[in-house]
Amino acid sequence: MLASSSLIPDIKSIITQSRESAVRAVDHQRTLMYWHIGKRIFEEEQAGKERADYGTYLIKYLSEQLQPEFGSGFSVRQMNLYRQFYRIFPIVHTLYAQLSWSQYKVLLSIENEDSRQFYIAEAVKNNWTVRQLERQIDSSLYERLLLSNDKENVLAVAKNEKLPSDAKEIIKDPILLEFLGLKRESAYYEKDLEGAIITHLQDFLLELGNGFSFVARQKRIHIEGDEFFVDLVFYNRLLQCFVIIEIKTHKLMHQDIGQLQMYVNYYDRIEKLPHENPTIGILLCASKNDAVVKFTLPEGQKRIVASQYKLYLPTEKQLLDEVSKELESFEGKDAESK
């Protein structure tokens, strides 16, 4: 009698899951070990704090005693990391079993507490790998979300304390596409950029953020005998709505906004189900004039968003400068309204 066709796949799945659970358990125990070492170093350091150089001496002494027996994990650099680990996370219950020691090492490099808490929450919620966490930090995800949101709102959404209610709470400006490997000095057709996005769809979904899933590319729609093609269609389960993305490799024009508005109206009237929220449209453009966007769209609308794409990672300083400009602009408008 032959075994059922599902037997081998089921057993393979059990083996794989068990191995992964074992690896996670071992890594968590290793993380706890490093935390306890850091705690013990800190306590010893405090006992001898009357000596200004005691901390440096202690780390060097411990490394000399431990490294020959236990290996490079107890170098001076690593011992300093363990001490820093405890100082940043002084309560053991604040550690997350979902995060590996490699991820904690990446998080230790973040000086700003709010920023660090944001990346911790997002990494746990989205089950990011080390590479994905590094990419999001390198792309200044937190700072980019601050360009259109306040700090408390960004952290609340990240920690699942509130669901996003506005497209700008999860859609970034700029959107960074460095993973496409395209040269920023070169000119590209829209179909080239679209094709590269589809090729790197997993990375693009990571960049889009929470809750996005791919629906269609070059979606054909018929309107009274005329054919139109929507570049990219996604769905966001958090916002519970379709998200349409139109790619423009030139500077954004008012005609582009009108075209996207038509697609959004079509999806609202034909595709959207009664329980779903209104469709959101994103104009992904090489450059934009915010005033053109503002005066083309009805006042107070939140369903069409223009986001500039960049083919490289800007520096943190460049993005922080943008955040400062946005805050100054907001404060200026607020003062005028008063």
Residue 102 counted as domain residue: no
Alpha carbon distance 112, 86 (integer Å)? 16
Whether 58 and 72 share a structural domain: yes
Whether 309 and 325 share a structural domain: no
Whether 223 and 300 share a structural domain: yes
Tell me which of 144 and 331 has the higher pLDDT. Answer: 144
Tell me the pTM: 0.82
Q: Do you know the residue count of the chain?
A: 338
E strands, the chain, are 175-176, 212-223, 226-236, 241-251, 280-287, 304-310
Whether 307 and 323 share a structural domain: no
Q: Which of 43, 69, 94 is the last residue of a domain?
A: 94
CATH number at residue 212: 3.40.1350.10
Q: Which of 216, 220, 253, 209 is CA-nearest to residue 232?
A: 216
Q: Is 130 exposed, middle or buried (0-12, 13-18, 19+ CB in 10 A)?
A: middle
Q: What is the pLDDT of residues 162-205, one digit of tens each?
A: 888 777 788 888 899 999 988 876 678 899 999 999 999 999 99
Whether 222 and 304 share a structural domain: yes
Whether 223 and 121 share a structural domain: no
Whether 180 and 164 share a structural domain: no
Whether 284 and 187 share a structural domain: yes
Q: Which domain holds residue 22?
A: 17-94
Average pLDDT on 209-214 reads 91
Q: Is 278 exposed, middle or buried (0-12, 13-18, 19+ CB in 10 A)?
A: middle
Q: How many domains does the chain have?
A: 3
Alpha carbon distance 276, 219 (integer Å)? 20
